[in-house]
Amino acid sequence: MSGNGNAAATALARIQTDSVVAMLKALYPGLQFEIIAMSTTGDKILDTALSKIGEKSLFTKELEHALEKNEVDLVVHSLKDLPTVLPPGFTIGAICKRENPYDAVVFHPKFVGKTLETLPEKSVVGTSSLRRAAQLQRKFPHLEFKSIRGNLNTRLRKLDELQEFSAIILAAAGLQRMGWQNRMGQGALGVEVRAKDQDILDLVGVLHDPETLLCCLAERAFLRHLEGGCSVPVAVHTAMKDGQLYLTGGVWSLDGSDSMQETMQATIHVPAQHEDGPEDNPQLVGITARNIPREAQLAAENLGISLANLLLSKGAKNILDVARQLNDAH
| Mean pLDDT, rounded, for 152-172 | 90
Distance CA 176, CA 23 (A): 18
* Neighbour order of strands in the sheet with 259-267: 234-241, 244-252, 259-267
The answer to whether the 11-98+188-329 and 103-178 domains have the same CATH topology is: no
Q: Locate the domains of the chain by residue range.
A: 11-98+188-329, 103-178
Checking if the pLDDT of 215 tops 50, the result is yes
CATH number given to 103-178: 3.40.190.10
- Domain 11-98+188-329: CATH architecture, name and number where available: 2-Layer Sandwich (3.30)
**Taking all residues of the chain, what is their mean pLDDT, rounded to a whole number?**
86
Q: 145 - beta bridge partners? A: 125
Cβ 33 vs Cβ 2: under 8 Å: no
pLDDT category, 61, cuts 50, 70, 90?
A: confident
| Mean pLDDT, rounded, for 198-217 | 95
| Mean pLDDT, rounded, for 267-293 | 79
pLDDT at residue 6, as a whole number? 41
pLDDT at residue 32, as a whole number? 95
Checking if the pLDDT of 7 tops 50, the result is no
pLDDT at residue 327, as a whole number? 79
Distance CA 34, CA 36 (A): 7
Active site residue 242: no
| Mean pLDDT, rounded, for 193-197 | 94
pTM of the prediction? 0.82
Positive or negative, the Cα torsion across 189, 195, 200, 201? positive
From 73, 81, 103, 209, active-site residue: 81
pLDDT at residue 9, as a whole number? 45
- Single out the residue of 68, 4, 23 nearest to residue 203, CA to CA: 23
pLDDT category, 52, cuts 50, 70, 90?
A: very low
pLDDT category, 58, cuts 50, 70, 90?
A: low
Pairing assessment for the beta strands 244-252 and 234-241 based on DSSP bridges: antiparallel
pLDDT at residue 185, as a whole number? 46
Distance CA 1, CA 73 (A): 6
